[in-house]
């Protein structure tokens, strides 16, 4: 049996490093780029026009946008596929009339060279409400999960711990996904949209799902009284569920990968977030949530906090 | 759904109760096990599920599209004839979101004046909602979503309308309200549609003095609700062609053929009454011919005041409102009515028209009706009462009474208002998005490919890793797919691109339940249990983990659905939540019922003697 619990400080340390890097990237401005849904503005997807002999190239789209007076948007065109482009502008004009006018001009101008496959315009009012709703959704999800797990493990000693550890694990996953996207935002101008929030919530669901399976085994093994040592129980539970955890994430990742490779397009952000989240979720249920249970049980948390960095020597493992 | 414990197998029950019945049917197998019953149950579920997914399932769920199969143009008369056919919808008849079939999505902010009371705001919002719904119904969009969001927003989703400017025009424009009176022949009798049709050589209107198209319609009073019939074709006089029937766009139509159409074709052509029932030819023939009601007003033309003839239209109407009678009025027998206010020109026109028509016949004669038409559709035809004092003017206000319920009066007032006032909506909309249909088609094909490949790879992985149980789980996965697609179609769940992603993701999770069970099974086998016992214990123990872990996903689905139905109602987010929810619930069912039944068959067979078929090395047992 591999000793996961005994090496917990390394796992926790590795995660801590990744999370700190993610938080720094998130905190430095220019990372996560809000899409039109969160900021207001216009989003357009262009594809090649039928019957048009000249191929639709980035160059042409760029020039057209510059001609129309949107040179700023021209500099951050995203290439979805070879001949599919995503354009994004801020809100056009100040008054309602100006907005209508500018919007018409932009749309008809682009329609001259390409097929406008998607056209969306979102006012700043709606956008700020979407941001608020997204925040509420994530917060409510976290609280609901905490309450649910506490309830599901109500027969265990200190059920609140299980809920809290699961929450820490899911916060870990969410920070990793956000962190990766803040890098992608810097490097490729990838933006986040409501679908990204959906992916984050789906990751929360997956992460908790995974964590519960491990905790469930602890719940089953603990009352058997095989060993009085909590760490050993957790470790054997981890080993018992390891095959399942890995195989499930493999099948889920295979499914997600199929969507990413074959569908792509406008939902690639969504799918990539799911992909990263699934890996993080599997990792955190094994290496974070369960390890934290042991840390908490042994009261290491206080000691660790007083002795940062992690320098505490481990007790010899009981078997 | 707690699995039965193994000390009370299904066999015991079925053997006792079903013995005599089964003997007769299955001579060679004297008994049928509980597991066989479960298999039959699964097949019994699978049958209807597969049927739902077939074209005949589409027809009975009314997932059909009307296709124009043939268009012919008569070179002499220029009249076009179209033949239509109803066929099952494509894509298995699934309800597709805007992103997959193309369409327009709009969110409007209702425009309030600052000094309006809450009631007035409420009324304005409802008014806009009713008018938009009415127009879109008339326009013929299949499965539109028109919803109020919060107190002052209106959400409109129009699948298939890929020109958003057209959609916006339809919603934002002011309707055309006009007033008409019944046309009379030289003998002073009302003219019916049949008169025009029977006298085929007519080249002029009966009342040639009144220009303008004729609209045919009639209000038939009913016990509860009046039936209003309006012919969607109009009689128009062209200088060179004489009289001919045209549709709303002005194209000539063969009226005789249209009236003879089947009910189904009539629905397509909007030959229906206000309750959406097809109207037969006889009824249409009895409808009155309505001609514009005109009067004269003084108008300044090039600096000179002139008498000009004008039709009474919504442009002269300042307000229409439903009213409850006052307590005193109620005592006098007054009813709920609709009050109309005219501007100064409207007052003059109304006075002239009312004085004219009230003398044309007795009370209840059609010639005493003032027909009100919104976008060429009859909405009401009240009778002109004599003004209370002979010779006095009708004044700037009028009331329409007619045994109205409050809702009827309100609806009429709303319709009158919509033809007089600008739509109370802020422009541009708060949110608008348009997806072209080609993009959607492309996505569907890609998603089907992704789904197919995803399923294939998962099945391959399961079979390679778990051997026999993996193959059974793959079979169960196919059952899962059929069930979940049938559920999506029957409910129906709107499939969006993200919804398809949710479905494919739920495939991964559907396998999860199986994996939990098989991993447990392997453990129990290694612990030395017999295969049968290992399978049962595996199921029982895995179930608790499956249940608890999936509940958390279900909680998330609920929160996601709320988020998606928020401000702009993102069909993407809602689609994902809905497919994931049904996917998870169905996967719990297939894991516990389908996989278990298949596995029980396997443990009862010869395969049970080879542990390596279950992915366990023989020496480990």
Cβ–Cβ below 8 Å for A270 and B515: no
Which residue in chain B has the smallest CA separation from A266?
Answer: B497
Of the partner residues B432, B501, B553, the one whose CB lies closest to the CB of residue A121: B432
Q: How far is Cα B556 from Cα A309, in angstroms, rounded to an integer? A: 36
Phi, psi of B418 (to 5 degrees): -65, -20
Do residues B524 and B611 make contact, with C-beta atoms less than 8 angstroms apart? Answer: no
What is the domain range of residue A149? 5-34+126-306
Residue range B367-421, pLDDT digits in tens? 888 899 988 889 888 887 765 545 567 778 888 887 788 888 888 888 888 888 7
Cβ–Cβ below 8 Å for A144 and B555: yes
Nearest residue to B257 (alpha-carbon basis) of B238, B239, B276, B284: B284
Do residues A301 and A295 make contact, with C-beta atoms less than 8 angstroms apart? Answer: yes
Q: Are A269 and A213 contained in the same domain? A: yes
Q: Are B240 and B120 contained in the same domain? A: no
Residue B512 inside a domain? The answer is: yes
Residue B49 inside a domain? The answer is: no
B469 cis-preceded (ω within 30 degrees of 0): no
Residue B12 inside a domain? The answer is: no
Confidence category of residue B609, pLDDT binned at 50, 70, 90: low
Q: Are A172 and A286 contained in the same domain? A: yes
pLDDT at B150: 79
Q: Are A219 and A243 contained in the same domain? A: yes
Angle at B526 between CA B524 and CA B527, to 5 degrees: 60
pLDDT at A307: 55
Residue range B62-118, pLDDT digits in tens? 777 666 666 677 776 666 666 666 667 666 778 888 878 888 889 998 888 888 888
Does residue B235 sit in helix, strand or coil? strand
Residue B279 inside a domain? The answer is: yes
Nearest residue to B318 (alpha-carbon basis) of B396, B423, B420, B172: B420
pLDDT at A112: 85
CATH number of the structural domain spanning residue A68? 3.30.70.3400
Confidence category of residue B617, pLDDT binned at 50, 70, 90: low
**ipTM rounded to 2 decimals:** 0.82
pLDDT at B9: 45
Whether the per-residue pLDDT at B25 is higher than 80: the answer is no
Residue B424 inside a domain? The answer is: no
Angle at A246 between CA A243 and CA A248, to 5 degrees: 100
Do residues B146 and B153 make contact, with C-beta atoms less than 8 angstroms apart? Answer: no
| Chain A interface, best mutation among B538, B556, B574, B584, by max A CB count within 10 A | B556
The alpha carbon of residue B621 is apart from the nearest alpha carbon of chain A, in Å, by 17
What is the domain range of residue B500? 435-620
Contact status of A102 with chain B (Cβ, < 8 Å) = no
- For chains A and B, CB pairs below 8 A equal 232
Q: Are A216 and A277 contained in the same domain? A: yes
Dihedral (CA of A287, A293, A297, A303) sign: positive
Q: Which of A122, A156, A179 is the last residue of a domain?
A: A122
Q: Are B459 and B564 contained in the same domain? A: yes
Do residues B613 and B607 make contact, with C-beta atoms less than 8 angstroms apart? Answer: yes
Which value, in Å, is the radius of gyration of the alpha carbons in chain B? Answer: 34
Question: How many domains does one find in chain B?
Answer: 3
Q: Are B168 and B184 contained in the same domain? A: no
Of the partner residues A117, A247, A252, the one whose CB lies closest to the CB of residue B436: A117
The alpha carbon of residue B454 is apart from the nearest alpha carbon of chain A, in Å, by 5
Cβ–Cβ below 8 Å for B553 and A206: yes
A51, two tokens: 């019957």
Mean pLDDT of the region B449-457: 86
Cβ–Cβ below 8 Å for B443 and A265: yes
Q: How far is Cα A116 from Cα B212, in angstroms, rounded to an integer? A: 41
Q: How far is Cα A313 from Cα B479, in angstroms, rounded to an integer? A: 53
Per DSSP, the residues of B51-79 read HHHSHHHHHHTT-EEEEEEEEEE-TTT--
Q: What is the mean pLDDT of chain B?
A: 81
Do residues A230 and A294 make contact, with C-beta atoms less than 8 angstroms apart? Answer: yes
pLDDT at A110: 87
Q: Are B459 and B488 contained in the same domain? A: yes
Residue B52 inside a domain? The answer is: no
Q: Are A191 and A148 contained in the same domain? A: yes
Nearest residue to B370 (alpha-carbon basis) of B389, B391, B385: B385
Write the CA distances from A228 to B241, B247, B251, integer angstroms. 102, 87, 89
pLDDT at B292: 93
Residue B96 inside a domain? The answer is: no
Which residue in chain B has the smallest CA separation from A211?
Answer: B549
Q: Are A113 and A208 contained in the same domain? A: no
Residue B228 inside a domain? The answer is: yes
More confident of the two residues A301 and B366: B366
| Chain A interface, best mutation among B508, B523, B574, by max A CB count within 10 A | B508
Question: How many domains does one find in chain A?
Answer: 2
**Reduced 3-state DSSP string for chain A:** CCCCHHHHHHHHHHHHHHHHHHHHHHHCCCCCEECHHHHCEEEEEEECCCCCCCCCCHHHHHHHHHHCCCHHHHCCCEEEECCEEEEEECCCCCCHHHHHHHHHHHHHHHHHHCEEEEEEEECHHHHHHHHHHHHHHHHHHHHHHHHHHHHHCCCCCCHHHHHHHHHHHHHHHHHHHHHHHHHHHHHHCCEECHHHHHHHHHHHHHHHHHHHHHHHHHHHHHHHCCCCCHHHHHHHHHHHHHHHHHHHHHHHHHHHHHHHHHCCHHHHHHHHHHHHHHHHHHHHHHHHHHHHHHHHHCCHHHHHHHCCCCCCCCCCCCC
CATH number of the structural domain spanning residue A210? 1.20.1640.10
Of the partner residues B428, B430, B505, the one whose CB lies closest to the CB of residue A255: B505
Contact status of A205 with chain B (Cβ, < 8 Å) = yes
Q: Are B251 and B368 contained in the same domain? A: yes
Residue A313 inside a domain? The answer is: no
Q: Are B161 and B265 contained in the same domain? A: no
Q: Are B251 and B298 contained in the same domain? A: yes
Q: Are B166 and B259 contained in the same domain? A: no
Q: Which of B374, B393, B418 is the last residue of a domain?
A: B418
Residue range B477-501, pLDDT digits in tens? 899 989 999 998 888 888 887 787 7
More confident of the two residues A58 and B607: A58
Q: Are A144 and A185 contained in the same domain? A: yes
The alpha carbon of residue B243 is apart from the nearest alpha carbon of chain A, in Å, by 41
Strands B317-323 and B337-342 turn out to be antiparallel
Q: Which of B116, B151, B173 is the last residue of a domain?
A: B173
Residues of A in contact with B550 (CB under 8 A): 209
Q: Are B111 and B239 contained in the same domain? A: no
Of the partner residues B432, B504, B516, the one whose CB lies closest to the CB of residue A244: B516
Residue A184 inside a domain? The answer is: yes
Q: Are A74 and A212 contained in the same domain? A: no
Residue range B281-325, pLDDT digits in tens? 899 999 999 999 999 988 887 888 888 889 999 889 988 888 888
Residue A316 inside a domain? The answer is: no
Q: Which helix or strand (DSSP H or E) is residue B509 part of?
A: helix B497-526
Cβ–Cβ below 8 Å for B515 and A253: no
DSSP state of B618: G
Residues of B in contact with A240 (CB under 8 A): 523
Of the partner residues B434, B544, B568, the one whose CB lies closest to the CB of residue A216: B544
Residues of A in contact with B107 (CB under 8 A): 126
pLDDT at B7: 47
Residue A315 inside a domain? The answer is: no
Nearest residue to B382 (alpha-carbon basis) of B177, B134, B180: B180
More confident of the two residues B401 and B471: B471
Cβ–Cβ below 8 Å for A244 and B462: no
Mean pLDDT of the region B440-452: 80
Mean pLDDT of the region B152-163: 86
Q: Are B165 and B210 contained in the same domain? A: no
Q: Which of A122, A147, A171 is the last residue of a domain?
A: A122
| Residue ranges of chain A with per-residue pLDDT less than 50 | 309-313, 318-319
B428 cis-preceded (ω within 30 degrees of 0): yes
Give percent above pLDDT 90 in chain B: 9
pLDDT at B288: 93
Do residues B519 and B466 make contact, with C-beta atoms less than 8 angstroms apart? Answer: no
Contact status of A246 with chain B (Cβ, < 8 Å) = no
Cβ–Cβ below 8 Å for A202 and B511: no
pLDDT at A316: 52
Q: Are B240 and B380 contained in the same domain? A: yes
Q: Which of A122, A156, A173 is the last residue of a domain?
A: A122
Residues of B in contact with A118 (CB under 8 A): 433-436, 439
Nearest residue to A77 (alpha-carbon basis) of A50, A105, A45: A45
Confidence category of residue B181, pLDDT binned at 50, 70, 90: very high
| Chain A interface, best mutation among B428, B449, B510, by max A CB count within 10 A | B428
Q: Are A144 and A225 contained in the same domain? A: yes
Of the partner residues B458, B553, B570, the one whose CB lies closest to the CB of residue A194: B570
Whether the per-residue pLDDT at B21 is higher than 70: the answer is no
CATH number of the structural domain spanning residue B446? 1.20.1640.10
pLDDT at B4: 47
Do residues A200 and B556 make contact, with C-beta atoms less than 8 angstroms apart? Answer: no
pLDDT at B191: 92
Cβ–Cβ below 8 Å for B567 and A129: yes
Residues of A in contact with B98 (CB under 8 A): none
Which residue in chain A has the smallest CA separation from B544?
Answer: A216
Residue A65 inside a domain? The answer is: yes
Q: Are B262 and B298 contained in the same domain? A: yes
Q: Are A238 and A169 contained in the same domain? A: yes
Return contacts of B263-267, CB within 8 angstroms, 24+ apart: B264/B86, B265/B84
């Amino acid at each position: 049996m591999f000793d996961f619990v005994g090496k917990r400080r390394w796992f926790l340390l590795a995660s801590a490093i990744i999370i700190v890097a993610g938080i720094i990237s998130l905190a430095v401005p220019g990372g996560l780029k809000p899409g039109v849904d969160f900021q207001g503005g216009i989003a357009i997807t262009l594809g090649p026009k039928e019957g048009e002999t000249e191929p639709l190239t980035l160059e042409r789209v760029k020039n057209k946008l510059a001609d129309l007076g949107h040179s700023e948007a021209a500099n951050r065109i995203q290439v979805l596929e070879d001949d599919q482009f995503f354009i994004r502008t801020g809100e056009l004009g100040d008054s309602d009339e100006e907005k209508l006018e500018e919007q018409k001009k932009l749309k008809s101008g682009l329609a001259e060279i390409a097929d406008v496959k998607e056209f969306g315009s979102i006012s700043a009012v709606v956008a700020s409400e979407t941001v608020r709703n997204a925040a509420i959704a994530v917060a409510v999800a976290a609280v609901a999960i905490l309450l649910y797990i506490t309830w599901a493990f109500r027969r265990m000693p200190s059920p609140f711990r299980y809920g809290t550890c699961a929450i820490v694990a899911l916060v870990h996953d969410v920070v990793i996904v956000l962190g990766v996207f803040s890098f992608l935002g810097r490097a490729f101008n990838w933006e986040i949209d409501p679908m990204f929030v959906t992916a984050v919530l789906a990751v929360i669901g997956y992460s908790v799902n995974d964590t519960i399976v491990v905790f469930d085994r602890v719940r089953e093994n603990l009352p058997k009284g095989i060993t009085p040592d909590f760490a050993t129980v957790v470790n054997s539970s981890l080993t018992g569920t390891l095959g399942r955890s890995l195989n499930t994430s493999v099948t889920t990742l295979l499914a997600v990968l199929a969507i990413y490779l074959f569908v792509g397009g406008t939902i690639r952000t969504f799918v990539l977030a799911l992909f990263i989240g699934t890996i993080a979720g599997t990792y955190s249920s094994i290496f974070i949530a369960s390890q934290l249970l042991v840390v908490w049980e042994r009261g290491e948390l206080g000691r660790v906090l007083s002795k940062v960095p992690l320098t505490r020597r481990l007790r010899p493992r009981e078997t | 759904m707690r699995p039965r414990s193994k000390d009370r197998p299904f066999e015991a029950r079925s053997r006792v109760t079903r013995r005599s019945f089964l003997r007769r049917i299955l001579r060679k197998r004297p008994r049928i096990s509980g597991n066989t019953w479960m298999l039959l149950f699964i097949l019994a579920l699978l049958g209807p599920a597969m049927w739902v997914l077939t074209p005949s399932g589409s027809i009975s769920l009314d997932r059909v599209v009307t296709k124009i199969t043939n268009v012919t143009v008569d070179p002499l008369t220029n009249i076009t004839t179209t033949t239509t056919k109803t066929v099952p919808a494509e894509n298995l008849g699934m309800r597709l979101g805007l992103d997959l079939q193309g369409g327009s999505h709009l969110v409007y902010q209702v425009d309030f004046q600052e000094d309006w009371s809450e009631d007035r705001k409420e009324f304005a919002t409802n008014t806009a909602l009713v008018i938009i719904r009415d127009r879109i119904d008339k326009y013929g969009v299949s499965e539109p979503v028109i919803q109020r969001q919060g107190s002052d927003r209106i959400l409109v989703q129009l699948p298939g309308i890929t020109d958003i400017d057209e959609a916006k025009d339809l919603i934002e424009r002011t309707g055309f309200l006009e007033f008409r009176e019944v046309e009379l022949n030289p003998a002073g009798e009302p003219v019916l549609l049949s008169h025009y049709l029977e006298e085929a050589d007519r080249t002029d209107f009966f009342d040639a003095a009144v220009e303008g198209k004729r609209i045919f319609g009639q209000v038939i009073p009913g016990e509860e609700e009046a039936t209003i019939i309006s012919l969607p074709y109009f009689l128009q006089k062209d200088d060179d062609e004489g009289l001919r029937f045209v549709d709303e766009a002005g194209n000539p139509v063969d009226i005789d053929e249209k009236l003879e159409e089947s009910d189904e074709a009539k629905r397509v052509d909007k030959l229906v009454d206000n309750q959406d029932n097809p109207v037969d030819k006889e009824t249409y023939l009895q409808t009155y011919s309505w001609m514009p009601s005109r009067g004269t007003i003084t108008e300044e033309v090039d600096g000179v005041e002139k008498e000009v003839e004008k039709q009474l239209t919504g442009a002269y109407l300042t307000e229409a409102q439903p009213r409850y009678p006052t307590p005193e009025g109620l005592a006098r027998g007054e009813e709920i009515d609709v009050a109309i206010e005219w501007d100064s020109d409207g007052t003059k026109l109304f006075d002239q028209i009312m004085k004219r028509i009230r003398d044309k016949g007795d009370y209840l004669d059609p010639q005493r009706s003032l027909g009100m038409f919104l976008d060429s559709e009859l909405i009401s035809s009240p009778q002109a009462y004599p003004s209370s004092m002979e010779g006095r003017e009708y004044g700037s206000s009028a009331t329409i009474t007619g045994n109205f319920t409050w809702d009827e009066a309100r609806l009429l007032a709303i319709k009158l208002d919509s033809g007089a006032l600008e739509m109370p909506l802020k422009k541009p909309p708060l949110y608008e998005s348009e997806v072209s249909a080609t993009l959607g088609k492309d996505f569907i094909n890609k998603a089907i490919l992704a789904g197919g490949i995803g399923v294939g790879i998962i099945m391959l992985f399961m079979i390679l890793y778990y051997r026999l149980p993996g193959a059974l789980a793959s079979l169960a996965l196919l059952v899962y797919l059929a069930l979940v697609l049938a559920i999506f179609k029957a409910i129906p769940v709107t499939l969006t691109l993200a919804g398809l992603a949710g479905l494919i993701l739920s495939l991964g999770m559907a396998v999860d339940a199986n994996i939990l069970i098989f991993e447990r099974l392997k453990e129990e086998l290694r612990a030395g249990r017999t295969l049968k016992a290992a399978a049962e214990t595996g199921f029982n123990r895995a179930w608790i983990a499956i249940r608890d872990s999936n509940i958390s996903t279900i909680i998330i689905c609920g929160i996601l659905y709320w988020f998606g139905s928020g401000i702009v109602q993102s069909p993407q987010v809602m689609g994902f939540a809905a497919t994931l929810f049904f996917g998870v619930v169905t996967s719990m069912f297939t894991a516990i019922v389908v996989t278990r039944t298949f596995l029980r068959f396997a443990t009862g067979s010869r395969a049970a003697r080879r542990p390596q078929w279950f992915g366990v090395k023989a020496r480990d047992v």
